[in-house]
Chains A and B, each alone.
Chain A
């Protein structure tokens, strides 16, 4: 490509520098496991918060459900790798291929519904729900016996290190896809609610997910998740490279999405829903899309976190935790990607890093007194968030150049009567 913008170069240069520096520090052992955990956790929570910012900051839909999708992604990804380690590739078949089947069927249903357009949203929900059940049903009943031996042979023929990376990749994708599908199904009926009601409904979703996770081994058929006792035996496969690539991918995808025509439609819904509808924007779609994309981000982050922590417990996804991304987004500045990216790291650094180290022994619990204080002071002094509307140049909405060709001779404040001759 000929002309790459300076801001793009600067951004990717800085990102690359950060990648190399952290990788060096990790390899040299300057950053111990504690700091490694903080960085990875910070990245994961930043990704969740970016997703929420897309939904709340850019689209204006107040969601408390992102931790639910984060939890879904974490458990789904962990389940794929756990099963793989126990000589059972069914996780890949159902999680990855099953999701692919479901998405394919969705496309068919969408085309079918478009043919007979006048279908109401609620009945569409039923159609999509049935499609989902059908898709995963096909995967469980049809694909499993067919593909499992094949998958095992193929993946075992490869060197173990490569297999591990492939399986981890498939696990991450499965987690993200399942979170995306869940948010799609959840979003269709619920997004028609006004913003506050939507917030309550998503809070409900987080609670439902937590309760389901508490009962994975009793009500749900996932004994390996061990319900309320917590899931163990997850491989610690997350590396800095994976974390960095996922983070960069999320940032770039979100930035490109927001700067496209669809992004403008998303922003218009935040500005004025009725006006958006009356310039021809399909508001349902313009709300559903960011919700699903944001939830896919959350699911991806869940997979990363699960394979770093190597232990999952439903309690870490309870509804109090679900406020974390919200705090980060508001703290960093609603509608500022830069703010969310940085604040995500700062938040974990403050809460789990600095305060743990600086508070004297035995006073760790006091950090839950310190951080609300920080929030209060912040809201009083800088209600628009740490970064307000600031963005890195690369992430800023590009402004179009004024046309030089056929520039009109009149000044900007042209009187209306002057323009009769075009």
Chain B
């Protein structure tokens, strides 16, 4: 199977593929950011994508979510080709993502941040909203209720009327994940969720990722630099360097792969041991 390491349990390999990326290549002018990238995700997996800075990880994420159109290759989600579909429709198909540097709607309230994600399925028309009829009131109450329940899961319930930009950093991260999950995805893409976090916050984040994975029945793909997080929670890992995949495998195998050590972990082996 393309884009997967050898030797994964047969039980996992029997699951249907959720995301299939084949031969993905992206040029920025003459710079080859991603070259011939393959990756297949099966339902319910939690996969890490690692690599040194500039290896092309975020570019892969941007290609999946339609921010860029790839120069070559194909991306299929539940068997459906994603190329040429605008970003917002890809999200509506069931892929959600967070950003490397937090991008909340920072002048709006916490509750509104989540409710915005419900907009494509708001359940009432513009006209209903302007004349304030019954459909508007009922649906708006329902959306608010749903958003509040959602925030409660993330422990942000008491903060619902705070301005998002005023939250402490860890909570902003968490709100961003909450907002992404509010779009009701099957696949969640996390771009360096632990960036700028201290060890305690990373522990909390790992708990959170495990929890949401169970709660929402998610498949998760994450980019991360903090090896502790990646090695602890990912089922298997793909390593990129200069836009190419240099290794795949379970955390233990990747850790000992000389290619990976050379490209990326060389300076950090002491930290890992």
Q: Which residues of A are interface residues toward B (Cβ below 8 A)?
A: 118, 253, 256-257, 259-265, 267-268, 271-272, 274-283, 289, 397, 399-400, 402-403, 406-408, 410-420, 422
Contacts A256-B132, A261-B143 given; indicate if A402 touches B158 (C-beta within 8 A). yes
Separation of A256 and B131 alpha carbons in the complex (Å): 8
B207 touches A416 (CB 8 A): yes
B108 touches A267 (CB 8 A): yes
State which of B25-33, B148-156, B217-225, B239-247 sits at the interface with chain A: B148-156
State which of B35-43, B50-58, B117-125 sits at the interface with chain A: B117-125
Min CB–CB distance A407 → chain B (angstroms): 8
State which of B1-9, B86-94, B230-238, B257-265 sits at the interface with chain A: B86-94
- Could you write out 23 A-B pairs with CB less than 8 Å apart? A256-B129, A257-B129, A260-B128, A261-B124, A261-B140, A262-B119, A262-B129, A264-B119, A268-B108, A271-B104, A275-B99, A276-B105, A278-B91, A279-B116, A397-B109, A399-B161, A403-B148, A408-B152, A408-B157, A416-B208, A418-B155, A419-B153, A419-B208
Contacts A265-B119, A419-B155 given; indicate if A260 touches B130 (C-beta within 8 A). yes
Min CB–CB distance A1 → chain B (angstroms): 10
Min CB–CB distance B141 → chain A (angstroms): 9
Most chain B CB neighbours (cut-off 10 Å) among A276, A277, A278, A410? A278
Q: Is B65 an interface residue (CB 8 A)?
A: yes
Contacts A265-B116, A274-B103, A412-B159 given; indicate if A417 touches B207 (C-beta within 8 A). yes
A289 touches B116 (CB 8 A): no
Which of B129, B144, B180, B207 meets A400, CB within 8 Å?
B144
Using Cβ atoms and an 8 Å threshold, which residues of chain B touch A272?
Answer: 103-106
- 1/0 per residue, CB under 8 A from A, across B144-183: the answer is 1100100011111111110000000010001000011011
Q: Which residue of A lies closest to B85 (CB)?
A: A118
Q: Which residues of B are interface residues toward A (Cβ below 8 A)?
A: 65, 67, 84-88, 91-92, 96-97, 99, 103-109, 111-112, 115-120, 122, 124, 126, 128-132, 136, 140, 143-145, 148, 152-161, 170, 174, 179-180, 182-183, 201, 203-205, 207-208, 211, 215
Separation of A279 and B91 alpha carbons in the complex (Å): 6
Separation of A271 and B111 alpha carbons in the complex (Å): 15
Q: Which residue of A lies closest to B139 (CB)?
A: A261
B88 touches A277 (CB 8 A): yes
Using Cβ atoms and an 8 Å threshold, which residues of chain A touch B107?
Answer: 271
Q: Which residue of B lies closest to A265 (CB)?
A: B119
Q: Is the interface of B mostly helix, strand, loop or mixed?
A: helix
Using Cβ atoms and an 8 Å threshold, which residues of chain A touch B108?
Answer: 264, 267-268, 271
Q: Which residue of B lies closest to A258 (CB)?
A: B129
Min CB–CB distance B189 → chain A (angstroms): 10
Contacts A253-B130, A256-B129, A271-B106 given; indicate if A403 touches B211 (C-beta within 8 A). no
Separation of A415 and B118 alpha carbons in the complex (Å): 26
Using Cβ atoms and an 8 Å threshold, which residues of chain A touch B84?
Answer: 118
Q: Which residue of A lies closest to B165 (CB)?
A: A271
Min CB–CB distance B174 → chain A (angstroms): 7
B155 touches A410 (CB 8 A): yes
Min CB–CB distance B23 → chain A (angstroms): 22
B207 touches A268 (CB 8 A): no
A261 touches B203 (CB 8 A): no
Contacts A271-B108, A279-B179 given; indicate if A264 touches B116 (C-beta within 8 A). yes
B207 touches A414 (CB 8 A): no
A261 touches B105 (CB 8 A): no
B174 touches A280 (CB 8 A): no
Q: Which residue of B lies closest to A280 (CB)?
A: B91
Which of A260, A264, A406, A408 meets B155, CB within 8 Å?
A408
Contacts A412-B159, A416-B155 given; indicate if A275 touches B88 (C-beta within 8 A). no
Q: Which residue of A lies closest to B149 (CB)?
A: A403
Using Cβ atoms and an 8 Å threshold, which residues of chain A touch B91?
Answer: 277-280
Other A-B contacts than A118-B84, A256-B131, A280-B117, 14 sampled, CB-CB below 8 A, are A260-B128, A261-B129, A271-B106, A275-B103, A280-B119, A283-B88, A399-B161, A400-B111, A412-B155, A416-B170, A416-B174, A416-B203, A416-B207, A417-B203
Min CB–CB distance A345 → chain B (angstroms): 25
Min CB–CB distance A16 → chain B (angstroms): 19
Q: Which residue of A lies closest to B92 (CB)?
A: A280
Min CB–CB distance A400 → chain B (angstroms): 5
Contacts A276-B116, A419-B153 given; indicate if A411 touches B87 (C-beta within 8 A). no
Using Cβ atoms and an 8 Å threshold, which residues of chain A touch B132?
Answer: 256
Separation of A188 and B106 alpha carbons in the complex (Å): 28
Using Cβ atoms and an 8 Å threshold, which residues of chain B touch A416?
Answer: 155, 170, 174, 201, 203-205, 207-208
Separation of A361 and B72 alpha carbons in the complex (Å): 74
Which of B111, B120, B126, B201 meets A280, CB within 8 Å?
B120
Separation of A78 and B208 alpha carbons in the complex (Å): 63
Separation of A259 and B130 alpha carbons in the complex (Å): 9
B148 touches A400 (CB 8 A): yes
